[in-house]
Amino acid sequence: MKDKCNRKIKHIRFSVTDKCNFNCIYCDNEGFIPKTTELTVEEIKKICRLLAEILNVTRIKFTGGEPLSRKDIIPIIQQVSDLGLYKDISMTTNGYLLYEKAEDLVRAGLNRINVSLPSLKPDVYKKITGSDSLSKVLKGLNKAKEVGLFPIKINYVMLKGLNDLELEDFIEFSAKTGYILQLIELHARSDAIGKEKEFYVKYHLDLSDIIKSLVEKAVDVKIRGLMQNRKVLFLSNGAIVEAIHPSHEFCMGCTKLRVGCDGNLFGCLYRADRGKNIKNDLNLNSLEHFEKVIREVVDSREPYY
């Protein structure tokens, strides 16, 4: 299914909870504030099945809040995997509970993982996340690699005056571990949760020149056309860097549909208000009804930048 800008929906980003054991200063709450209770495992499974069948998507990423803080996260992954409709099941996590759950996640059907890692310095890490747990997260990353999650990506949101001098450390870390480094520019807060412009002005750093410099040093550059036209940079030391830079081109390459933990289906991180909550309709057995709702949401998508 394509939207009005001829962008085909190719994958789903599904929040399973708004709860989190961290308090990261740049958290965007996945662009929405839930209005009802969290979906049950069965409701999540049903929505995943409907989206796969109607949109013909085979890729899904589970997020939060912190998805691993949900006690039934393993059954959620297992139930969705058992549908046999998704070839790629991934997750974004802060990594705090990764060491304990990595092996069970793989057994349940998780393929790969993204771990938020804003700093390699314990004091800076604590300042950004509110948690003194860098060593525990790094231990979880090692465990994830050991049990076969691949690829493993680390999300490094660069913040002016806080962690912006750690880029070279992260590049070396990527080369040493084999983890893909996702270099992320801070974006303005979504309308759904308030933009907090003072925060953005204080910490935002335009990554254009940094990305340009990395491109010049790279031995190879590819474009992830399936993922918002992101540049993937292959550096001489073996590090792989993906650059995530909010822009019109970024929006024009967007192929995501999002589901909030309360059942809100929406098409843009910045415009959750255009979504449709489908939780109360799950008792209906009309595929035609859901096709209509999903079409309305897809048609509401337009480039934010």
- The domains of the chain are located at 11-299
Res 239: pLDDT: 97
| Greatest alpha-carbon span in the chain | 55
pTM of the model: 0.92
Q: CA-CA distance, 188 to 166, in Å (whole number)?
A: 22
CA-based radius of gyration for the chain: 19
Structure token pair of residue 13: 């980003």
117 in Cβ contact with 154 (< 8 Å): yes
Q: CA-CA distance, 169 to 164, in Å (whole number)?
A: 11
Q: CA-CA distance, 235 to 97, in Å (whole number)?
A: 31
Res 305: pLDDT: 56
DSSP state of 205: -
Structure token pair of residue 187: 């974006």
Res 302: pLDDT: 79
Q: Which residues of the chain have pLDDT under 50?
A: none
Secondary structure (3-state) at 6 = coil
Residues 6+ apart with CB under 8 A from 202: 160, 161
pLDDT in tens, 142-201: 999 999 999 999 999 999 999 999 999 999 999 999 999 999 999 876 555 566 688 888
Task: Scan for tokens 């525990």, then name that residue.
Answer: 136
Res 100: pLDDT: 97
Secondary structure (3-state) at 285 = coil
Res 6: pLDDT: 87
Q: Following DSSP, what letter does each residue of 9-69 receive, concatenated?
A: P-EEEEE--S--S---TT--GGG----SPPPPHHHHHHHHHHHHHHH---EEEEESS-GGG
CATH for 11-299 is 3.20.20.70
**For helices 134-146 and 122-129, angle between their N-to-C axes, nearest 10 degrees:** 100
Q: How many CB atoms lie within 10 A of CB 76?
A: 22
Structure token pair of residue 292: 């209509």
Q: CA-CA distance, 70 to 18, in Å (whole number)?
A: 10
Q: How many CB atoms lie within 10 A of CB 236?
A: 10
Q: CA-CA distance, 30 to 190, in Å (whole number)?
A: 9
Q: CA-CA distance, 189 to 29, in Å (whole number)?
A: 9
Kindly give the pairing relationship between strand 220-224 and strand 240-244.
Answer: unpaired
Res 248: pLDDT: 55
Structure token pair of residue 184: 């992320």
Q: CA-CA distance, 145 to 285, in Å (whole number)?
A: 41
